[in-house]
Structure 1
Amino acid sequence: MLNFDAVIFDMDGVITKTAQVHSLAWKRMFDEYLYFRLKQYNEPFHEFTHANDYLPYVDGRPRYKGVETFLRSRGIDIPFGDPKDESKKETVCGLGNRKNEFFNKVLEEDGVEVYESTIILIKDLLKTSIKVGVATSSKNCVVILEKASITDLFETRVDGVVSAELGLHGKPEPDIFTTACDNLGVTYDRSIIVEDAVSGVQAGAKGKFGLVIGVAREDNAIELMINGADVVVEDLSELSIDEINKLIFSKQETR
């Protein structure tokens, strides 16, 4: 007997190999903007880095929240603006839209790769009648899933577009995961969250889900464990359905 009814997967870095594309797009946008501030305001230029900036301030967050959080870390205060702002406008939304232009350009040129081990696990879950959903901060979710030809694997999708429509809070709040579970008609304590970002496992822990699995793509296993993951793997090929079932059963027994 299985001790869970659904698994909700994050997308970038868990299902698709798009996390690095996001990171590079963020770096290009922020480095350009920080260099602009050097010329315009004579501020010291310190480049945007993956380890010190992307992972703690941007990874896993909704786009505009990522812009705000990073700028705050640098003591930079600019108007929020409007989501319709042009990408050249010096607002939070303008910068976020510029990042998205860079991201979509790479996506169009290079396409989308998936983690085959994740796809295998998803198909195995579906064969056992476990419900599967995708929950992500990305507003590019539909395009990415279509390019990867995996849209039909997910019974529900809660992404950045849906979050904006429903007024959901972004990670580290659990809203996108709880909404996905509600859409599937499953209880949170019998649902599993799979995440690769610190803000994502924080959301999983905050939502009191049955199990939070961290995928350490960034050599960040310790950070994921500290921030809410019940178990951390480097790749989902390390876990079978039986092993996942035992893990959630053990957690249920300790409650």
Structure 2
Amino acid sequence: MAVRLLSTPTALSHPAKLSFFSSPKPISTATSFFQWRSKCRVFTRKMVVKACVKVEEKNVKETSKQEWGKVSAVLFDMDGVLCNSENPSRKAAVDVFAEMGVQVTAEDFAPFTGMGEANFLGGVASVKGVKEFNTEAAKKRFFEIYLDKYAKPNSGIGFPGAFELINECKNKGLKVAVASSADRVKVDANLAAAGLPLSMFDAIVSADAFENLKPAPDIFLAASKILDVSPNECIVIEDALAGVQAANAAKMRCIAVTTTLTEETLKPAGPSIIRNDIGSVSLDDILSGGSDEMVQDMQFLQVTEQNPSRILNERTRNGSTPGVDVPSNEVFSLQG
């Protein structure tokens, strides 16, 4: 039975609610585990490179639909997957820098797509050498501009086919979640503008509660724990390189869409399937790998021998996930 989701953006803002994702001291293995390579430079909230993924292609083999394996949940990225919001986000970010007297282009933000607003804005500020850049102030102004100009009903922010695919998944008995590197204020605004009620989803996981964003697997692993579904039974739908890398790091299969990046850019990251947009993703793609005859057999370079599900547990005070036992008429929502 799917768990319905309905909570206000501040429902879990109390520090006690976030104890699951806070760590009393640095974990020695976490840094080494996430020292992977990627084409992207990853800027965290402190502008430190923390997590990338190295993906090695082994043999590409023919995989029958039966070998695709069991699917129990679908984790949807938001920007560029459910919502046509990547370009509006870049335009709003350009406006933020213009107000600071810094000239940037929308293309400057492409390398930081899918990494959360702090990295999205802070990464460009670092590249441009902006002195005394205040990330939180920039984020606040970014959200003001974005919500005022772009995240509005009938603004065309919703992708055709998103609503229908989510309903198809639910009717098939699959759990569905939003797993986004965006802050919750943007998630709520985008979903509302796209005509996707929060109650459609069994979980909504946003960036607020996490230090390590995509390409680290934390957000996807948290979603799988909340849904009580093993990572190997989750399918991720992503548009960003960092998102595909995060899915691979979580040992989840990934369907990539080319709404933001080209197929040539996404393919080296190793998505299982590539489609044009969410409207061209079918339920058959999700359940059995679709009509593609080739599914890549990926090998992940890991410094430790830990199971991906343990990565998240190492960053917690205990091994439980808040909100898993919520009543069936409520929505679980993880945020800051």
TM-score (norm 2): 0.61
Give the corresponding residue for 1:150. 197
Shift of the 137–243 alpha-carbon distance from structure 1 to 2, 3 Å rule, reads: closer
Q: Distance in 1 between matches of 2:180 and 2:127?
A: 24
What aligned pairs does 1:1-255 form with structure 2 within 5 A after superposition? 3-33=70-100, 36=101, 47-51=103-107, 53-57=108-112, 59-78=113-132, 90-107=133-150, 113-139=157-183, 140-147=186-193, 148-161=195-208, 163=209, 167-209=210-252, 211-247=253-289
Shift of the 160–250 alpha-carbon distance from structure 1 to 2, 3 Å rule, reads: same
8 Å CA contact 1:172–1:202 kept in 2: the answer is yes
Shift of the 183–76 alpha-carbon distance from structure 1 to 2, 3 Å rule, reads: same
Shift of the 123–108 alpha-carbon distance from structure 1 to 2, 3 Å rule, reads: closer
Relative to structure 2, which stretch is displaced further, 99-108 or 188-197?
99-108
Q: Please, which runs of 5 or more residues in structure 1 have no aligned partner?
A: 38-46, 79-89
8 Å CA contact 2:256–2:266 kept in 1: the answer is yes
What is the deviation of 1:175? 0.9
- What secondary structure sits across from 1:242 in the alignment? helix
The one-letter code matched in structure 2 to 1:116 is P
What is the deviation of 1:185? 0.3
Q: Distance in 2 between matches of 1:254 and 1:19?
A: 28
The one-letter code matched in structure 2 to 1:7 is V
Shift of the 118–110 alpha-carbon distance from structure 1 to 2, 3 Å rule, reads: closer
What is the deviation of 1:107? 3.7
Aligned identity (percent) is 24
Shift of the 116–109 alpha-carbon distance from structure 1 to 2, 3 Å rule, reads: closer
Q: Distance in 1 between matches of 2:136 and 2:284?
A: 45
The one-letter code matched in structure 2 to 1:239 is V
Number of residue pairs the alignment of both structures matches: 226
Higher helix share: 1
Q: Distance in 2 between matches of 1:235 and 1:149?
A: 17
What is the deviation of 1:254? 8.3
Q: Distance in 2 between matches of 1:17 and 1:199?
A: 18
Shift of the 99–212 alpha-carbon distance from structure 1 to 2, 3 Å rule, reads: same
Q: Distance in 2 between matches of 1:222 and 1:253?
A: 18
Q: Please, which runs of 5 or more residues in structure 2 have no aligned partner?
A: 1-65, 300-336
Relative to structure 2, which stretch is displaced further, 61-70 or 193-202?
61-70
8 Å CA contact 1:168–1:176 kept in 2: the answer is no
Report Cα offsets for 1:13-53 as digits up to 9, x if no partner.
111222222111011112332xx25xxxxxxxxx42233x1
What is the deviation of 1:102? 0.7
TM-score (norm 1): 0.79
What is the deviation of 1:199? 1.3
Higher relative contact order (CA 8 A, sep 6+): 2
